Amino acid sequence: MNRRQTTLAALLASSLALTACGGGDPLEDGAPATGGGEGEALIIGSANFPENVLLAEIYAAALGDAGVEVTTRLNIGNREAYMAGLEDGSIQLIPEYTGNLTLYLDETAEATESDAVYAELQEALPDNLTVLDMAEAQDKDAVVVTADTAEEFDLVSISDLQPHAPNMVLGGPAEWRDRFTGVPGLLEVYGLEFSSFKPLDAGSTLTVEALKNGQIDAGNIFTTDPAIAQNDFVVLEDPESLFAAQNVVPLIATDALTSQIEEALNVVSAGLTTENLTEMMVQVQDTDPAQVAREFVDGL
């Protein structure tokens, strides 16, 4: 197996294990395990980081306004966990990101630009899943360092880390240890062999604080995270396009899709930009994501 194939095999094994496990599965709590049929609420899930929760709330508000009965299951976990939920019917809809979802479904995917990634994604989807219009808004993975670290080692791009990585600690979500768009890809594409990897929650303040406190030297922070500007962090350029385009896109169970749902969510995608998504991420630092979502949908 090549490295991408090995990574995909690990992801699939993880997904099966999550589906089979017992009381620790967050999908077992809350709404019924099936839904989306006539007279049943559409169950909207989210991954376990703030932006995805916000997007799920935006979808819920827009669909509610369109007359669709919805319920939410937020903070389910990583992609392996919520994809299992889409398979077993315990959720029917979730906000996704084109590049990483494509790679999850097809380890041979090579496109990096938005339209080409979206085309590959549509080809890779199984019949039971459908993506609707993608938004202009993107939120990409990034390797981020402090301004002091960038200045000390003259860092502009990820490739500049190569001579320094053996003396550095990399931080990121636990799944980065195995995902190609993580430790394996940084090694294969950029030749980076860090002294160690510190698992941290995706999209949380843990990575930010670890960078600030010197517990890690480089970390995975999403590009819409307001902490980047607030802390004068430096996003390292990705000249080899390890991180493909990551346009926000609704992923829905095909048998739950109606024209009413499609129309409402396509309006959301048409109005969602990287700029307004980043602005909303500032707001959710001290405001309920449901309230921020409500204001955004009211302005569409």
Token pair, residue 185, equals 């890809």
Q: Partners of 253 in the beta sheet?
A: 129
According to CATH, the topology of domain 143-235 is D-Maltodextrin-Binding Protein; domain 2 (3.40.190)
pLDDT score, position 213: 95
Architecture of domain 3-137+245-298: 3-Layer(aba) Sandwich (3.40)
SS3 percent helix, strand, coil of the chain, rounded to 5, is 45, 15, 40
pTM for this model (two decimals): 0.79
Which residue numbers in the chain have pLDDT < 50?
Answer: 1-37
124, 284 Cβ separation under 8 angstroms: no
Per-residue confidence (pLDDT) for residue 133, from 0 to 100: 98
What is the C-alpha to C-alpha distance for residues 16 and 6, in angstroms, rounded to an integer? 16
Burial 196-230 (b: 16+ CB within 10 A, else e): ebbebebbeebbbebbeeeebbbbbbbbbbbbbee
**Same fold? 3-137+245-298, 143-235:** yes
Residue extents of the structural domains in the chain: 3-137+245-298, 143-235
Question: What pLDDT, on a 0 to 100 scale, did the predictor assign at position 272?
Answer: 98
pLDDT for the residue 39: 58
What pLDDT does residue 156 have? Answer: 98
Q: Which CA distances in Å does 29 have to 17, 23, 143, 195, 199?
A: 18, 9, 35, 39, 26
Pair type for strands 218-220 and 143-145: antiparallel
**pLDDT number for residue 179:** 86
Retrieve residue 141's tokens.
């993975």
